[in-house]
Amino acid sequence: MLYSRLANSLKTYCDSPRHFVLALSGGLDSRVLLRLMGQYLRLNPQHQCLAVHVHHGLSPNADEWSQHCQEWARQEGIECCVERVELTLGSRVSVEQQAREHRYQALRKHMRPGGILLTAQHADDQLETVLLALKRGSGPAGLAAMAFSTPFAGGLHLRPLLSSSRADIECYGQQHQLAWVEDESNQDTRYDRNFLR
């Protein structure tokens, strides 16, 4: 089911050979997206894909996560690049916001004209985004939440799992006996998104 959703969602955008950049954190969602894209590329070899893992250096496990991502990408026949970024801790900007900004800057570097960035946000993330927007008093634009497709760095940013639930994604990961990393910061309720969960 997840694969058919992904293939159908990409069909509209892949009438010619495309270069994909897959944001690979190593967590469940991006790990499943990596497996799905590995299958997609085997069936559609005219396309290319680069997985990019952004190493924020915030966790003592960050080096290990990078190694796992490179190995998992190799298993799928997808090249993987590790981008190291440095955050300014203690600044007025939240760690979450800084990490997101640095992550997209790192991903932007690998985009080609007409390329497609793939990220693994899903339906549960969408709900959290709306709830966070309500909490922050966002207007109508903020409450519109995430779009499936948005312009990005001369190409497109697609979220092919946006209509899938986290439960569906976890079920897929377990059925296919995938390993993924568990970021300990996901349990830290100082971060708004974790508090909502």
For residue 15, what is the DSSP state? S
C-alpha to C-alpha distance for 66 and 104, rounded to whole angstroms: 17
What would the two tokens of residue 68 be?
């796992």
For residues 7 and 40, is the Cβ–Cβ distance under 8 A?
yes
Q: Where are the domains of the chain?
A: 2-196
Helices and strands in the chain, H and E counts: 8, 6
Look up the CATH superfamily of 2-196. HUPs (3.40.50.620)
pLDDT at 10: 94
pLDDT at 95: 80
Exposure on the CB side of residue 106, measured as CA atoms within 13 A: 24
pLDDT at 146: 78
For the whole model, what pTM was predicted?
0.84
> 154: left (phi > 0), else alpha (psi -120 to 50), else beta?
left
What would the two tokens of residue 34 be?
């990596």
Task: Label residue 185 exposed, middle or buried (CB < 10 Å: 0-12, 13-18, 19+).
Answer: middle
pLDDT at 2: 94
Q: Please name the residues in contact with 14: beta carbons below 8 A apart, sequence gap of 6 or more.
A: 44, 47
Closest CA to 18 of 141, 94, 118: 118
Q: What are phi and psi of 138, to 5 degrees?
A: -65, 155
C-alpha to C-alpha distance for 186 and 194, rounded to whole angstroms: 6
CA 181 to chain centre: 14
- Over the chain (197 residues), the average pLDDT of each successive run of 10 is 93 93 97 98 97 90 94 98 85 78 95 97 66 50 71 96 93 96 62 44
- Written in H, E and C, the secondary structure of 53-92 is EEECCCCCCHHHHHHHHHHHHHHCCCEEEEEECCCCCCCC
